[in-house]
Amino acid sequence: MNATPAITMKANNPRTGEADYEFAVSSPGDIAAEAVRLRAAQPAWEAMGPEGRAEVLLRLADAIEAAAPSIAAALTVDTGRGAVSWIEVQGCVSNIRGWAARGPALFAGLERGPKPSATPGIEIVTEYSAHVLFGAIAPWNFPVILSHIDAIPALMAGSAALVKPSEVTPRFVEPMRAVLAQVPELPLSYVMGGAEAGQAMIEHVDYVCFTGSTSTGRKVAEAAAGQLIPANLELGGKDPMIITASADPEWAAGVALRSSIVATGQACQSIERIYVAREIAELFMTALIGAASEVKLTYPDPNDGHLGPFIFPSQADKVADHIADARSKGADVICGGEIEELGGGRYLRPTVITGVTHDMAIMREETFGPVLPVTIFDDLDVAIAQANYTEYGLSAAVLAGSLDEAAGIAGRLDAGAISLQDGALTSMVGDATNQSRKASGLGPSRMGDSGMLRYLREQAHIRQTGAPLPIDAFAEGQG
């Protein structure tokens, strides 16, 4: 009998525009079989205890570090970014070492009891065990970091883990599989493919973490509800930055630019709307446009410059649509604004837009490109209301003359994490517990201790230390 040929997918090279990488898609049968294998391996993994698991995770970190050149090289092709790819791989290694260091202490600090109950004669002991099989679904914008950010603490907690990376950026999986072969005790493996593979995976796991767009997040939440499993969602954003009259305009311009355009703006925590006080607006705009004009594309030399190509070519169309919509409604594009096709890749220089209004897509929907729509405000209360006027509540930023002044504004912003006197700090700080608001997410924080504690199920051991009640205690006619 002939074996059924594997279904394959192709991935685009963002620098050349060529679909030059082919990979095998995991079939529903493959995913089911892998889930069975991992479920069988999980009890031994959990039985190793926190210290044993931490030791294996440290070996994983060492193996990734040793293989960093091949992983970063694959990631560089996936994303068109060189330096950021190295930072991503190193960030993944640090994340693993961080959980290996903190995990055992978190377990040691769990409250287990026994503690007395309010019910006489009863004491309570709490036992903790991990969800057996964890599943992660990841996007394409930071493929290595976001494929592992939730899986590593799940492994530390004692779960086995299936990870489905984005089909847009699959190249790093090959070198990562070679790394995993060196750490055979680790119950971690990858599911390859797109939406169908993601949906099939959800059918087999006990807990799902999803990072991606809000529209897909809703589908993941529905599928998880059908399975009655918890879903943590980390979704899109439309992050505002408020810059008050007391802020230094040149400093603010530098912070705003970096926070908006790093990784070509393809980051959930990118600043996507700027609200600047009229008193400093002119100086701010001069500095912003000056700094934007110095930003270089990483073309033709991929090792020189700041802004790489769009990873997902159709993302460039979406960004272009937002700019066209803003133009058609009367906005002024001060610099940038045109998608450039270079060597097969699609690029956009920093695009500063003024005269924006809140009926424009660029002020309401996630743009995910190096675009800075600027609103000049006279009344801080109005600016705060406008900053809160989107369906998103991921993160936000405040730049002011002092930390105290920024803090007074931060608490009024309806978002899960606020950067004060800087922007987009959530991408650099892993231990700030936060919960995304509104359509930007669902569930406990992936950052801070809850990143691991969320995977532990509590089992109550209710101990009778006295005499159990006789049946007569429940007999009728004694009230």
Task: Give the interface with ligand NAD as residue ranges (CB under 6 A).
Answer: 137-141, 146, 164, 166-167, 194-195, 198-199, 211-213, 216, 219-220, 234-237, 268, 366, 368, 394, 441
> Does residue 390 contact residue 364 with C-beta atoms inside 8 Å?
yes
What 119-124 contacts at long range (C-beta under 8 Å, 24+ apart), as own/partner pairs, is 120/466, 121/464, 121/465, 121/466, 121/467, 122/462, 122/463, 122/464, 122/465, 122/466, 123/463, 123/465, 124/460, 124/461, 124/462, 124/463
> If residue 305 lies in a helix (H) or strand (E), which one and from where to where?
none
- Residue 269 CA to residue 432 CA, distance in Å, equals 14
Give whichever of 46 and 78 is closer to ligand NAD, judged by the CB atom.
78
CA-to-CA dists, residue 285 to 237, 238, 281, 289, 375, angstroms: 24, 21, 6, 6, 11
> Does residue 56 contact residue 160 with C-beta atoms inside 8 Å?
no
Report the C-alpha dihedral over residues 275, 346, 323, 353, rounded to 10 degrees. 40
Give whichever of 194 and 401 is closer to ligand NAD, judged by the CB atom.
194
Active site residue 55: no
To ligand NAD, the closest distance from the beta carbon of 246 in angstroms equals 31
Burial classification of residue 117, based on how many CB atoms lie within 10 Å of its CB (0-12 exposed, 13-18 middle, 19 or more buried): middle
Give whichever of 32 and 48 is closer to ligand NAD, judged by the CB atom.
32
To ligand NAD, the closest distance from the beta carbon of 219 in angstroms equals 4
Helix axes 249-261, 278-293, angle to 10 degrees: 50
247 pairs with which residues across the strands?
Answer: none
- Residue 122 CA to residue 237 CA, distance in Å, equals 48
To ligand NAD, the closest distance from the beta carbon of 140 in angstroms equals 4
> Does residue 350 contact residue 336 with C-beta atoms inside 8 Å?
yes
Residues in contact with 421: Cβ distance below 8 Å, sequence separation at least 6, in sequence order: 398, 399, 400, 403, 406
Backbone angles phi, psi at 446, to 5 degrees: -85, -20
To ligand NAD, the closest distance from the beta carbon of 270 in angstroms equals 8
To ligand NAD, the closest distance from the beta carbon of 463 in angstroms equals 42
CA-to-CA dists, residue 228 to 16, 203, 206, 415, angstroms: 43, 10, 9, 28
Give whichever of 6 and 47 is closer to ligand NAD, judged by the CB atom.
6
Give whichever of 281 and 362 is closer to ligand NAD, judged by the CB atom.
362
- Please give the structure tokens belonging to residue 392: 């998103």
To ligand NAD, the closest distance from the beta carbon of 143 in angstroms equals 9
To ligand NAD, the closest distance from the beta carbon of 412 in angstroms equals 22
Give whichever of 19 and 195 is closer to ligand NAD, judged by the CB atom.
195
- Residue 114 CA to residue 55 CA, distance in Å, equals 29
Give whichever of 63 and 149 is closer to ligand NAD, judged by the CB atom.
149
- Residue 169 CA to residue 84 CA, distance in Å, equals 14
To ligand NAD, the closest distance from the beta carbon of 240 in angstroms equals 15
To ligand NAD, the closest distance from the beta carbon of 212 in angstroms equals 3
Identified catalytic residue from 46, 88, 167, 234: 234
Give whichever of 244 and 436 is closer to ligand NAD, judged by the CB atom.
436
Nearest-Å Rg of the Cα atoms of the chain is 25
Helix axes 68-79, 83-108, angle to 10 degrees: 120
Residues in contact with 87: Cβ distance below 8 Å, sequence separation at least 6, in sequence order: none
- Residue 397 CA to residue 234 CA, distance in Å, equals 18
Give whichever of 247 and 413 is closer to ligand NAD, judged by the CB atom.
413
Active site residue 234: yes
Identified catalytic residue from 34, 88, 209, 268: 268
Instruction: Give the three-state DSSP class for 44.
Output: helix
- Measured at CB, which residue is nearest to ligand NAD? 198
Does the bond joining 302 to the residue before it have cis omega, within 30 degrees of 0? no
Active site amino acids? 234, 268
